[in-house]
Amino acid sequence: MLANKLKKGDTIGVVCPSDKVNNEDIPEIKEAERLLKERGYNVVFGKNVYKNTTGYGATAKEKAEDINEMYANKNINAIMSLKGGFNSNSVYEYLDLNTIKSNNKIICGYSDSTSYINYIHEKTGNIGFIGPNFKSLNAPGTNHYLLDEMLKRLENNYYDLATDD
């Protein structure tokens, strides 16, 4: 099941189901936020994004809590994983699949994030996107190509799914 297209003025929620946020990540995160705001989007971070309760980020329950809250929040139009890493599969048991299924939204990320995105698809039928993580939207050397291409697909070509036809 596809979510609605992204449009200017929409709000993108950021979750961190994988690795912890390091001090060196902060400038990249702030720049990614600035770039999205510059293009007309609002950005909201999950309340547990910056926690490092376990040494590799927030607890699995805290990480899942952010995901669940983003799905439940009617003002959030899309969800992006902050960064890759490991252990996003630890959130499975804490995800509220009923809330997720009934509040389908764009969800995007790569690396370890593909694990929970694919899990959500398997359990709810909601289609996620294997695309950039939030932090990588301003990857050095891409001249914002990555951000522009992601937005092009989520805004305009969203329903152009590859088929064997």
Quote the CA–CA distance of 153 and 50 in Å, as a whole number. 29
> Could you give the 3-state DSSP secondary structure of residue 80?
strand
Residue 59 contacts by C-beta under 8 Å, 6 or more apart in sequence? 53
Q: pLDDT of 52-102, one tens digit each?
A: 999 999 999 999 999 999 999 999 999 999 999 888 999 999 999 999 999
Mean pLDDT across the stretch 8-28? Answer: 95
- Whether the pLDDT of residue 161 is over 70: the answer is no
The model carries a pTM of 0.92
pLDDT tens track for 96-140: 999 999 999 999 999 999 999 999 999 999 988 888 999 999 877
**Which tokens is 94 given?**
């804490």
Joined together, the tokens standing for residue 164 give: 């064997």
Please say if the pLDDT value at position 28 is more than 60.
yes
CB atoms within 10 A of CB 52: 13
- d(CA 138, CA 147) in angstroms, rounded, equals 7
